[in-house]
A and B are shown apart, each in its own frame.
Chain A
Amino acid sequence: MSAAFREKGLSYLIVGPFAIVLAFPFYVMVITAFKNQTEFYNPGITPYWFGKHSPTLDNVRFLFHHTDYTRWLANTAIVGLCVVGITLALAVPAGYALARLAGRVGQSLGVGIFLTYLVPPTLLFIPFFWVINQVHLQNSIWSLVLVYPSFTVPFATWLLMGFFKTIPAELEDAARVDGASRVGTLVRVVFPISLPGVLTVVIFSFSLVVNEFVYAFTFISPSQHAMLSPGVYTNLIRGDLPEWGAIMVAALIPSIPLALLYNTFLDRFIAGFTGGAFR
């Protein structure tokens, strides 16, 4: 009992300080986002808390009325949905086949596909920049719909391969014995059970899209076509006096829901990730 107690205490002692340091910038974000602007430029008022005229929604109002923020949100949502659609269409069948039908070759091929996920944007942005100039897709969000699956498909295929391996093969065998075709088994038995896995892939692929900066920044310049991150960076920070309050609101709005989803689906993500690697 006391040993268990000590172990728990040790956990808090390790995790607590790390949690404070890692989350600190987000705390600063929240305080600045809802703080009156003259207050955060006043060294007499502690930066750790609000002054007399805060919390306020002035910064939120500024962001939504005086910037293209809603356009950036919409652009990001459109690109995200298109990319997730393309990703699922390619990765679900491939992940299933690699896990179930292709045997040892499937395992090696799976690792091969996954390795392409490691080829970074910084190696590919120049050739993509070249291609996008050739096909005149500069400054269009469709350039990103074209390019983003280059990393979401390998990532999603690997995860799905892991998920499909965790589904007992007996279920499919039973369906096949009952006279279902292979394709029928896929559609009526395998896909419904793998829905949680597919949902996990949807969330993580979408968050990869929202997170991406280099391509989005390189391919698109006009504010009304921009994605979230480059939009905020280019239009709100480069002025003489950045609108820090509005910038923090802009950062919080996508970060919090994404982080909540991320944590909720983390255990499933881990199951898929290791399912592909260690079986």
Chain B
Amino acid sequence: MEAVAAARPRGRRWTNVFERQGVLASALIAPAVIFVLALVGGPLALAIGLSFTNATSGHLHGKWVGLENFRHEWTNPAFEHAVWHTFLFTVISQVIVLVGAGLIAHALTRKFRGRWILRFLILLPWAAPIALSLMAWKWMFDTSYSILNWTLVHAHLYKPLEVPQYLAQPKIAMGSVIAVHTWRILPFAVVIFLAGLASIPKEVNDAAAIDGATGFQKFWSVTLPLQLPIATVALLFGIVFTATDMAVVYILTQGGPPPSFSTEMVTTWAYKTGVESGSLGPGAAISLFLLPVLAVVSIAMLLFARRSEVA
């Protein structure tokens, strides 16, 4: 003990503090943790605070109104529609995404010619900036020059004047919004699935092959159960990215087509109330209705992380 102390060069006590594992760890982690708390925790607390006031963008410090904002939205038909649309939007798109991504990822793990380019094409919708690729969809959904309708007419499936108006007819608009979001999120789920498949040890497949399992048997009793955890992760991410997405709906329909708000989501409703109309308090209250969804997903993630740690 003394020998170590003697060997320590003088005047370098400060450096030596960092030789202690705990001190170094805290010094390295603390900035990130403090930063994240300030930039995520802070605003979240502020959102909760604002939701109990009638603050507007003109009067940033509003008066305390208690639960009034929540009560008002709870009985507001516009909000009720927004919740229902968000639910449909999330459930339908996630079902398609999970099935599609499972199939694609499984096929992509095999080696075949042209795999790189096919993977590139499949990942395009997720890799490209969403607001910009939505421009292509807006053009494809154009009322007069839609490439989709041009095709339908030329295939003699529709008469020129009866073609669907993708963003102007309520039910069809909802379908379009769901389709585009599915298109966008599917590649992301493929990435998560690929990550999951990469973590399955090769030995498992080899063992199954030695035991004489055929392609389908192997898929059903080996790959599929092993894919279940990763499917859960993809689903949890998918729910969060869908229920809280605003770009797709806002850019395509702005919650319309008018006058019935037939594609209004919780997010676009919060945006219109809080930012466009400047009612910060009510807007914050609306967006906070998403918090329970987030909480459930986070808890599920934590449980999952703990389980995979033990395994």
Contacts and interface: CB of A to CB of B under 8 A. Distances in A.
A221 to B, nearest CB: 11
A255 B127 contact: yes
B40 A116 contact: yes
A106 B145 contact: no
Interface stretch (B25-33, B73-81, B168-176, B255-263): B25-33
A130 B112 contact: no
A157 B29 CA distance: 10
A130 B50 contact: yes
Contacts of B137: 25
A228 B72 CA distance: 37
Contacts of B131: 211, 213, 217, 229-230, 232-233
A122 B139 contact: no
Given A3-B215, A125-B271, A22 B132 contact: no
A207 B283 CA distance: 29
Given A255-B127, A266-B191, A274 B186 contact: no
B57 A26 contact: no
Contacts of A90: 31-32, 35
B211 interface: no
Contacts of A242: 138
Interface in A235-267: 237, 242, 244, 247-248, 250-251, 254-255, 258-260, 262-263, 266
A211 B274 CA distance: 23
Contacts of A278: 199, 308
Interface in A4-35: 7-8, 10-12, 14-16, 18-23, 25-26, 28-29, 32
Given A90-B32, A181-B19, A26 B124 contact: yes
A9 to B, nearest CB: 9
Nearest to A104: B309
A273 interface: yes
Contacts of A111: 301-302, 305
B46 interface: yes
Most buried by B among A25, A43, A134, A271: A25
Q: How large is the interface on A (under 10, 10 to 19, 20 to 34, 35 or more residues)?
A: 35 or more
Contacts of A262: 123, 126-127
Interface residues of B, number: 100
A163 interface: no
Interface string A214-229: 1001100000000011
Contacts of B119: 263, 266
B98 interface: no
B280 A250 contact: no
B147 A47 contact: yes
Given A106-B25, A123-B47, A259-B120, A28 B57 contact: no
A248 B136 contact: yes
Nearest to A233: B131
A98 interface: yes
Contacts of A259: 120, 123-124, 127-128
A98 to B, nearest CB: 6
Given A182-B18, A251-B128, A47 B47 contact: no
Nearest to B214: A3
Contact of A233 (B19, B29, B42, B251): B251
14 contacts: A29-B133, A29-B135, A29-B136, A94-B31, A119-B44, A127-B44, A150-B36, A213-B251, A228-B129, A229-B129, A248-B136, A251-B136, A255-B124, A258-B128
Given A122-B244, A126-B284, A211-B129, 13 more contacts: A7-B110, A28-B136, A40-B145, A90-B32, A120-B290, A122-B246, A124-B47, A133-B60, A150-B36, A233-B131, A247-B135, A250-B132, A270-B191
Interface of A: 3, 7-8, 10-12, 14-16, 18-23, 25-26, 28-29, 32, 40-41, 43, 46-48, 89-91, 93-94, 96-98, 101-102, 106-107, 109, 111, 113, 115-116, 118-131, 133-134, 147, 149-150, 153-154, 157, 181-183, 207, 210-211, 213-214, 217-218, 228-230, 232-233, 237, 242, 244, 247-248, 250-251, 254-255, 258-260, 262-263, 266, 269-271, 273-274, 277-278
